[in-house]
Amino acid sequence: MSTAPIAITCGEPAGVGPEVAAKAWAALRHDVAMVWIGDPRHLPPGTPMIEVDDPAQAASCGPDALPVLRHDFAHAATPGTATPANAQGVIDVIARGVDLVTSGAASALCTAPIHKKVLMDGAGFAYPGHTEYLEALTNAPRAVMMLACDQLRVVPTTIHIALEDVAAALTPDLLRETIEITARSLRDQFHIPAPRIVIAGLNPHAGEGGAMGRQELDWMADLVAEVAATGVDVTGPWPGDTLFHAAARARYDTAICMYHDQALIPIKTLDFDRGVNVTLGLPIIRTSPDHGTAFDIAGQGIANPTSMIEAIRMAARMADL
């Protein structure tokens, strides 16, 4: 059992990240040790906080003030309006959080939302999103995105690419890796001894025998059978439009989808507020709320912290805190 705190990155300081982090700490301060990494100026006014020099000090801070590992940014934040000059600070905080977990100073990483375009414009961020950046920072051969709530777990095989590029990017090797990483993570991190996995088809009605696309017929079904022969409980490809009603969800532990929206639309429809983003395949534990920066409500004090609360709780469970 780890005693190190969960490291929470600040995310985009002009968004709701600092607000939902402060609210999540207030909700969980008696149950989970955590430390927030960022510029104290970016926290909501009046947030009780105490600066620490080392995450190990977080556990002894008590429940009356949020432990903050200070990371100065170029500028203060204007809620709802991103400052490109702060982009490098956002990127550096993520890297600092990874270092803390890798070294054992923190038990897990929970990341607040970032705004990818702001990071690209302000600091030349070279990654489509958090997942790919964390993959590079940890030298992981492949990272896999999972979205989870009480009712559903989904994994998109391709992630932050245009829909028109999905068919070319979806290869047998990519799908095989996704299935294997998902199965291993469900066993090792979610403690499901024999996880049941279903594969969604790429095309409408899973291609309908080749009438609406041939990927399912030409290679997907054979690949699934090959992986199943190794002992993984995996079936498919199944039509994506019939996988997410209640009776279907009862038959599996995770659905592996072929592209971003095929996975995220059902989980956000089922439980938008409690969805958690989990990165599989990393040598560290990483979770994140399943929402964006919400510039339109930043600074108004009305952001819902439920997804951040659930992300911290899931990180704590995975880290055995």
Q: What secondary structure does DSSP assign to 196-226, as a single string?
A: EEEEE-SSGGGGTTTBTBSHIIIIIHHHHHH
Both tokens of 38, joined, read 């960022």
Q: What is the pLDDT along the chain (321 residues), one digit of tens a residue?
A: 457 999 999 999 999 999 999 999 999 999 999 999 999 999 999 999 999 999 988 878 888 999 999 999 999 999 999 899 999 999 999 999 999 999 999 999 999 999 999 999 999 999 988 989 999 999 999 999 999 999 999 999 998 899 999 999 999 999 999 999 999 999 999 999 999 999 999 999 999 999 999 999 999 999 999 999 999 999 999 999 999 999 999 999 999 999 999 999 999 999 988 999 999 999 999 999 989 999 999 999 999 999 999 999 999 999 986
Domain ranges of the chain: 1-140+282-321, 144-274
**Could you give the 3-state DSSP secondary structure of residue 254?**
strand
Both tokens of 207, joined, read 């291609």
Report pLDDT for 62: 82
Report pLDDT for 140: 95
- Say whether the peptide bond before residue 266 is cis (omega within 30 degrees of 0): no
Specify the DSSP class assigned to residue 5: P
**Could you give the 3-state DSSP secondary structure of residue 238?**
strand
Report pLDDT for 1: 44
Dump the DSSP string for 104-170.
Answer: TSSSEEEE----HHHHHHHH---SSSHHHHHHHHTT-S--EEEEE-SS-EEEESS-SS-GGGHHHH-
For domain 144-274, give the CATH number: 3.40.718.10
Report pLDDT for 320: 84
Does the structural domain 1-140+282-321 have CATH classification 3.40.718.10? yes
How long, in residues, is the chain?
321
**1-140+282-321 and 144-274 share one fold:** yes
**Could you give the 3-state DSSP secondary structure of residue 284?**
coil
